Amino acid sequence: MGTDPKVHTFEDVAEHNKIKDCWLIISGKVYDVTPFMDDHPGGDEVLLSATGNAIVLQNLSTTDTKLKGETTEAGKDATNDFEDVGHSDSAREMMDKYYIGEINMSTVPLKRTYVPPQQAPYNPDRTPEFVIKILQFLVPLLILGLAFAVRHFTKEK
Protein backbone atom coordinates (compact mmCIF):
# COMPACT_ATOMS: atom_id res chain seq x y z
CA MET A 1 0.00 0.00 0.00
CA GLY A 2 1.36 3.43 -0.96
CA THR A 3 1.39 6.43 1.31
CA ASP A 4 -1.39 8.98 1.08
CA PRO A 5 -0.54 11.93 -1.13
CA LYS A 6 0.43 15.14 0.62
CA VAL A 7 -2.41 17.65 0.78
CA HIS A 8 -1.30 21.22 0.18
CA THR A 9 -3.15 24.37 1.04
CA PHE A 10 -3.60 27.18 -1.43
CA GLU A 11 -1.48 29.44 0.81
CA ASP A 12 1.29 26.85 0.73
CA VAL A 13 1.29 26.87 -3.08
CA ALA A 14 1.07 30.67 -3.21
CA GLU A 15 4.03 30.98 -0.83
CA HIS A 16 6.19 28.76 -3.03
CA ASN A 17 5.31 30.80 -6.10
CA LYS A 18 6.18 33.99 -4.26
CA ILE A 19 9.67 32.69 -3.47
CA LYS A 20 11.11 31.18 -6.63
CA ASP A 21 9.18 28.05 -7.41
CA CYS A 22 6.52 27.40 -9.96
CA TRP A 23 3.76 25.30 -8.47
CA LEU A 24 0.60 24.71 -10.44
CA ILE A 25 -2.77 23.51 -9.22
CA ILE A 26 -4.38 21.50 -11.99
CA SER A 27 -7.65 19.65 -11.49
CA GLY A 28 -7.18 19.50 -7.76
CA LYS A 29 -3.60 18.28 -8.08
CA VAL A 30 -0.40 20.18 -7.33
CA TYR A 31 2.55 20.10 -9.71
CA ASP A 32 6.00 21.50 -9.04
CA VAL A 33 7.15 22.43 -12.53
CA THR A 34 10.15 24.45 -11.27
CA PRO A 35 12.68 21.98 -12.80
CA PHE A 36 10.65 21.93 -16.05
CA MET A 37 10.62 25.68 -16.60
CA ASP A 38 13.77 25.78 -18.76
CA ASP A 39 12.57 22.83 -20.83
CA HIS A 40 8.91 23.80 -21.25
CA PRO A 41 8.36 24.17 -25.02
CA GLY A 42 6.09 27.14 -24.35
CA GLY A 43 8.82 28.84 -22.30
CA ASP A 44 9.07 29.73 -18.63
CA GLU A 45 7.42 33.12 -19.05
CA VAL A 46 3.99 31.66 -19.77
CA LEU A 47 4.20 29.35 -16.81
CA LEU A 48 5.16 32.19 -14.49
CA SER A 49 2.76 34.77 -15.86
CA ALA A 50 -0.10 32.29 -15.71
CA THR A 51 0.48 31.64 -12.02
CA GLY A 52 -0.39 34.94 -10.38
CA ASN A 53 0.41 33.49 -6.99
CA ALA A 54 -0.97 30.11 -7.88
CA ILE A 55 -2.69 28.67 -10.90
CA VAL A 56 -6.01 27.00 -10.41
CA LEU A 57 -6.64 24.81 -13.38
CA GLN A 58 -9.98 23.36 -12.44
CA ASN A 59 -12.24 20.95 -14.20
CA LEU A 60 -9.99 20.27 -17.14
CA SER A 61 -12.38 17.66 -18.41
CA THR A 62 -15.54 19.63 -17.88
CA THR A 63 -17.50 21.63 -20.40
CA ASP A 64 -18.63 23.98 -17.66
CA THR A 65 -17.31 27.30 -18.93
CA LYS A 66 -18.52 29.16 -15.86
CA LEU A 67 -15.35 28.26 -13.98
CA LYS A 68 -12.97 29.09 -16.78
CA GLY A 69 -10.92 32.25 -17.10
CA GLU A 70 -11.96 33.70 -13.79
CA THR A 71 -9.57 35.15 -11.27
CA THR A 72 -9.42 34.32 -7.62
CA GLU A 73 -8.32 36.63 -4.81
CA ALA A 74 -4.75 35.35 -4.93
CA GLY A 75 -4.36 33.65 -8.26
CA LYS A 76 -5.84 32.85 -11.56
CA ASP A 77 -7.93 30.12 -13.05
CA ALA A 78 -5.71 29.37 -16.02
CA THR A 79 -7.95 26.71 -17.51
CA ASN A 80 -8.48 28.78 -20.63
CA ASP A 81 -4.75 29.53 -20.95
CA PHE A 82 -3.91 25.86 -20.60
CA GLU A 83 -6.68 24.58 -22.85
CA ASP A 84 -6.24 27.24 -25.52
CA VAL A 85 -2.71 25.99 -26.10
CA GLY A 86 -4.15 22.57 -26.86
CA HIS A 87 -1.60 20.57 -24.92
CA SER A 88 -1.02 17.12 -26.38
CA ASP A 89 -1.69 13.83 -24.60
CA SER A 90 2.04 13.39 -24.12
CA ALA A 91 2.16 16.79 -22.41
CA ARG A 92 -0.60 15.64 -20.06
CA GLU A 93 1.23 12.37 -19.38
CA MET A 94 4.35 14.39 -18.60
CA MET A 95 2.49 16.08 -15.76
CA ASP A 96 2.75 12.93 -13.60
CA LYS A 97 6.47 13.54 -13.30
CA TYR A 98 5.87 16.84 -11.51
CA TYR A 99 2.97 15.72 -9.33
CA ILE A 100 3.63 16.55 -5.67
CA GLY A 101 0.22 16.08 -4.08
CA GLU A 102 -3.37 17.16 -3.87
CA ILE A 103 -4.80 20.59 -3.14
CA ASN A 104 -7.19 21.16 -0.28
CA MET A 105 -9.89 22.75 -2.40
CA SER A 106 -11.53 24.38 0.60
CA THR A 107 -8.44 26.60 0.93
CA VAL A 108 -8.73 27.86 -2.65
CA PRO A 109 -10.14 31.39 -2.49
CA LEU A 110 -13.57 31.86 -3.94
CA LYS A 111 -13.72 33.39 -7.36
CA ARG A 112 -13.98 37.15 -7.24
CA THR A 113 -17.41 38.32 -8.18
CA TYR A 114 -17.71 41.54 -10.11
CA VAL A 115 -19.30 44.28 -8.06
CA PRO A 116 -20.38 47.17 -10.29
CA PRO A 117 -19.33 50.60 -9.00
CA GLN A 118 -22.01 52.60 -7.24
CA GLN A 119 -23.45 55.30 -9.46
CA ALA A 120 -26.58 57.38 -9.67
CA PRO A 121 -29.35 55.58 -11.49
CA TYR A 122 -29.58 56.56 -15.12
CA ASN A 123 -32.46 58.92 -15.70
CA PRO A 124 -32.96 59.67 -19.41
CA ASP A 125 -35.35 62.54 -18.58
CA ARG A 126 -32.54 64.53 -16.96
CA THR A 127 -29.92 64.38 -19.71
CA PRO A 128 -29.07 67.51 -21.75
CA GLU A 129 -30.04 65.63 -24.93
CA PHE A 130 -33.56 65.26 -23.61
CA VAL A 131 -33.81 69.00 -22.79
CA ILE A 132 -32.60 69.89 -26.31
CA LYS A 133 -35.23 67.58 -27.84
CA ILE A 134 -37.98 69.25 -25.79
CA LEU A 135 -36.76 72.69 -26.87
CA GLN A 136 -36.63 71.63 -30.52
CA PHE A 137 -40.28 70.72 -30.20
CA LEU A 138 -41.40 73.69 -28.10
CA VAL A 139 -39.62 76.58 -29.85
CA PRO A 140 -41.38 76.15 -33.25
CA LEU A 141 -44.69 75.80 -31.42
CA LEU A 142 -44.02 79.04 -29.52
CA ILE A 143 -43.12 80.87 -32.75
CA LEU A 144 -46.27 79.56 -34.41
CA GLY A 145 -48.37 80.60 -31.41
CA LEU A 146 -46.73 84.02 -31.45
CA ALA A 147 -47.44 84.43 -35.15
CA PHE A 148 -51.11 83.56 -34.63
CA ALA A 149 -51.33 85.98 -31.70
CA VAL A 150 -49.78 88.83 -33.69
CA ARG A 151 -52.08 88.13 -36.61
CA HIS A 152 -55.09 87.93 -34.33
CA PHE A 153 -54.42 91.26 -32.63
CA THR A 154 -53.33 93.17 -35.74
CA LYS A 155 -56.04 92.02 -38.10
CA GLU A 156 -58.48 94.69 -39.13
CA LYS A 157 -61.89 94.49 -37.65
Contacts (CB under 6 A) with ligand HEM, residues 8-27: 24
Residue 14 or 78 having the CB closest to ligand HEM: 78
| Non-local CB neighbours of 26 within 8 Å, separated by 6+ positions | 55, 57, 60, 82, 95
* Cβ contact 112:73 at 8 Å: yes
User: Could you say whether residue 88 binds ligand HEM (CB under 6 A)?
Assistant: yes
User: Could you say whether residue 31 binds ligand HEM (CB under 6 A)?
Assistant: yes
Quick check: helix, strand or coil at residue 99?
Answer: strand
* Cβ contact 147:139 at 8 Å: no
Q: Which residue is nearest to ligand HEM (CB)?
A: 42
Residue 87 or 111 having the CB closest to ligand HEM: 87
**Pick from 68, 67, 2, 55: nearest CA to 29:** 55
Give the binding site for ligand HEM (CB under 6 A): 24, 31, 33, 40-42, 46-47, 50, 55, 78, 81-82, 85, 87-88, 90-91, 94-95, 98
